[in-house]
A and B are shown apart, each in its own frame.
Chain A
Amino acid sequence: MPAWFGRRPPAGPPPSGPGDRGEADRDALARGEVPASTRARLERERARSLPWTSTLSVSEWALARSVGAEPVGLVMGSSVYHTGWSYLPSWQSGELEAPTRAAHAVRALALERLRQEASLLGAHGVVAVRLERSDRDWGSDLMEFTAVGTAVRFPRAQAVPRPFLATVGADDLYRLLQAGWLCVDLCLGVSVAYLATDWTSMWQAGSWTNTEVDAFTSATYTVRELAMRRLAETARAARADGVIAYDINLSVERVERGGGGQERTDHVLEFVAMGTAVVRADDRPAALPAAVVPLADRPPPA
């Protein structure tokens, strides 16, 4: 009878980390490094004394390997950030400088820490990067972003000082490489603005007739243009030919202002544009796809 049979005794206490590493880890994070325990684990993973990890599904993993990209490890980065204040006169609208910088900084910190993990693994790039937000009630004005992706290495290519990041998955990487395109980097553009509701807007929004609320339309144009311009600037700086898998997102938060019969609802707009910058590597014609008629049942509409 194999030894593992039967009602096993309770698993021992989970192997715990090397005591309280809080202080040293906070210092490392403040210096822009990943904590020592993370670094040590990734170095063991790189030396193959720990199994590699990958967020890719089996199909994506097999596809990545078929184009010579070896998945070397799951990489992460995260940051919890406190947003400061920007002062605007109560009736003024415009971009909020501190919140814009905060919204960019928290994402950039998470992404750069993920990139650093990829560097420690000797990777050339990271695919399938997901950036997720969590809202914490551990304090006021907090936001947390975590980036997760799979680092890949092209064993025949030279080492790079700065691995690329891409929001596209391994299947898209395959399609891109087939078509002669390379990923350059993940590009980000952010803008946060305050929109004070004036009398005209109040009148338009409360009207009984069909009316465009001009100030609202114009405010969404402003944040969108600023965010998209910033994304384009980072893509140009990376010498990209274009940006694909472009994802834009506007969120609107209500702010109640005033008192004593002067109440009004203002808004804070946050616009985030994110995409993967690509560059054309060669001029091969795109392969002709084979037309197929699947016999599979269609998945039900989501």
Chain B
Amino acid sequence: MAQEGAPSDLPAAALERLRQQAAPGGLFTSDLSVNEFVLVRQAGFEPLGLVVGSSIYHIGYQPAMWRQNQEMQVLTQATYHARELAMSRMEEEADALGADGVVGVRLVVNRYDWGADLAEFLAIGTAVRHAGGTSHRTHDGRPFTSDLSGQDFWTLLRAGYRPVGLVMGNCVYHVAHQTVAQFLRTVGQNQEMLNFTQAMYDARELAMERMQAEAAERKAEGIVGVRIDERSHGWGSHVIEFFAVGTAVVATGEASSLPAPQLTLALDG
């Protein structure tokens, strides 16, 4: 059900693939496991197709002050922008399929041999649609995105919540070098390095704030499955990147219909 005049920035081949899949009797594709497939269908959704979005991006350069704890805003923004391109292209594919959302989204950064500061940002997941026809899109009409597995998606819906978006926050940060005076004060002493601790706090705080701001923008109640990873794109040991990611969720208004859990002991061990 590609809407008229819709996704303008997808390549022709991708549009043709989506048009065929969205046609009545079209074939669905999905990277869900069989267990996930069964559970997603049990939750009342049908898989429509594997959707992807990618962008190969050149990360710019920013000099840092040797003795200063500071955010590297140019580098932070590179990750933001490239991720945005990949995610929005994936959302466009989902929209072209008439999907309510995308489950099992994986956001991958690949560094092939393109060149020193080049990275591929790839978003990939399975587009799903509610079989009963109830819209599960976000408040502004976008398909939801989520990194939840089929199992987690089932559990979340049963618990009376639904996903609204894969939300992310990051911060690339330059940690100041020690001065000679600072070095001399620490020689032989047990001492907390407050300058370094403060840098870690500042960088992580910025990443968390941004992730929560994204979730608030999507009118989410909370974020489940948050992971905070420290990554590096080869900027040297004094430049660190904190990356926070999770699935923003909102209550559906329905009471939890999750069956009471039972203790079991598997006899196949």
Residues of A whose CB lies within 8 Å of any CB of B are: 1-8, 10-11, 13-17, 21-22, 25-26, 29-30, 34-35, 37-38, 41, 45, 50-59, 61-63, 65-66, 71, 74, 76, 78-85, 98, 101-102, 105-106, 109, 134, 136-139, 142, 144, 146, 148, 174-175, 178, 287-294, 296, 298
Contacts and interface: CB of A to CB of B under 8 A. Distances in A.
Interface stretch (B2-10, B43-51, B107-115, B127-135): B2-10
A220 to B, nearest CB: 24
A35 B159 contact: no
Given A62-B155, A174-B261, A37 B205 contact: yes
B223 A144 contact: no
Given A10-B77, A54-B246, A83-B190, 20 more contacts: A15-B210, A26-B194, A37-B209, A41-B205, A51-B220, A52-B222, A54-B222, A54-B226, A56-B225, A62-B156, A74-B208, A80-B193, A82-B186, A82-B190, A84-B190, A101-B190, A138-B175, A148-B228, A293-B267, A294-B266
Contacts of B224: 54, 56-58, 61
By Cβ-Cβ distance, the 3 closest A-B pairs, closest first, are A80-B196, A58-B152, A52-B222
Interface stretch (B22-30, B68-76, B116-124): B68-76
Contacts of A7: 8-9, 85
A293 B266 CA distance: 6
Contacts of A287: 263
Contacts of B222: 51-54, 71
A4 B88 contact: yes
Contacts of B192: 29, 79-82, 105-106, 109
B260 A66 contact: yes
Contacts of A137: 237
Given A56-B225, A62-B159, A138-B178, A4 B142 contact: yes
A30 B204 contact: no
Nearest to A148: B228
A83 B188 CA distance: 7
Count chain A CB atoms within 10 A of each CB in B35, B158, B224, B260 and give the residue with the most. B224
B92 A5 contact: yes
Contact of B263 (A65, A98, A178): A178
B190 A62 contact: no
Given A50-B212, A63-B261, A139-B193, A25 B202 contact: yes
Given A15-B209, A26-B198, A52 B261 contact: no
Nearest to B76: A14
Contacts of B155: 58-59, 62
The CB with the most chain B CB atoms within 10 A, among A15, A54, A62, A290, is that of A62
Given A51-B222, A59-B151, A15 B196 contact: no
Interface string B228-242: 101000000110000
Nearest to B154: A58
Nearest to B260: A66
Contacts of A296: 35
Interface string B56-81: 00000000000001010100110011
Contact of B197 (A56, A57, A78, A101): A78
Given A51-B223, A58-B152, A22 B69 contact: yes
Contact of B198 (A13, A22, A290, A291): A22
B95 to A, nearest CB: 8
B193 A35 contact: no
Contacts of A78: 197, 200-201, 204
B196 A2 contact: no
A3 B140 CA distance: 9
Contacts of A54: 222-226, 246
Contacts of B223: 51-54
Nearest to A63: B261
A146 B188 CA distance: 23
B215 interface: yes
Nearest to A286: B263
A115 to B, nearest CB: 15
18 contacts: A5-B8, A7-B8, A17-B206, A29-B197, A37-B209, A51-B221, A59-B152, A66-B261, A78-B201, A78-B204, A80-B193, A82-B191, A105-B190, A136-B237, A138-B178, A139-B186, A288-B263, A291-B264
Given A8-B84, A290-B263, A82 B189 contact: yes
Q: Which of A14, A37, A38, A136 lies at the interface centre, i.e. has the most chain B CB atoms within 10 A of its CB?
A: A14
Contacts of A50: 212, 216
A5 B7 contact: yes
A108 to B, nearest CB: 11
Contacts of B6: 1, 5
Contacts of B15: none
Contact of B225 (A58, A85, A290): A58
Contacts of B35: 296
Contacts of A21: 202
A3 B142 CA distance: 10
A7 B7 CA distance: 9
Contact of B81 (A11, A98, A292): A11
Central interface residue in B148, B191, B221, by most chain A CB within 10 Å: B191
